[in-house]
Amino acid sequence: MAGTLHIYTGGMYSGKSTGLARSILRAQDAGLKTLVLKPHFDTRYSDTSISTHSKLQVEAMSVTEYPLPTEKIYDIVFLDEIQFFIEPYFHSDIVEICKAWRNLGTHIVAAGLDMDWQGNPFYTTAMLCAMAGEVTKLKAICSVCGDDASLTRKVTHSGPVIELGSTDIYQAVCHRHADFNAPQSSE
């Protein structure tokens, strides 16, 4: 039997990692054999845990690569910050790895941003969402007006596309306050 793929996605501060952490704890409480991975690049709150903005933490393996699985070892694999499972931060093809896990009957639950602060989709998230049997698109609260926010904007409207940060650099915003046409860096 093939495994399943469920993605939690949306903008920053929408509860993606919180949903993932709850799924991890539920699976572990049920006695399932789990693997929890996070990209080594993401060191915002912890090197060895998935950490939510509200400080909920779940132990995870920090990785820069992972071998293509050839046998079923885990019941469920959890991946946080899937948008960072790309070069130069991750040196394996996470999309192919997820396909292999599913073919082996392993279930996968992943969380990650769907778009960068310029409004462009993240490749890995887009690919995994396309493959997923279930996608949960979460919303935050717009930091400007309080409406539902499904986008992330950078406070400075400049700098590299991928830059680790939290409320010091990013805000959750609705479409009206996204500012995708603001001056942007070409970095």
- Active-site annotation, residues: 81
Cα of 75 vs its chain's centroid, Å: 20
The rounded distance, in Å, linking the Cα atoms of 170 and 172 is 7
The two structure tokens encoding residue 14: 């929408």
162 backbone dihedrals φ, ψ, rounded to 5°: -110, 115
The rounded distance, in Å, linking the Cα atoms of 151 and 21 is 22
Rounded to a whole number, what is the distance in angstroms from the first to the last CA of the chain?
45
Cis peptide before 183 (omega within 30 of 0): no
Compute CA distances 26 → 34, 64, 82, 185, whole Å.
11, 26, 21, 42
| Residue 61: other Cβ atoms inside 10 A | 11
Cis peptide before 121 (omega within 30 of 0): no
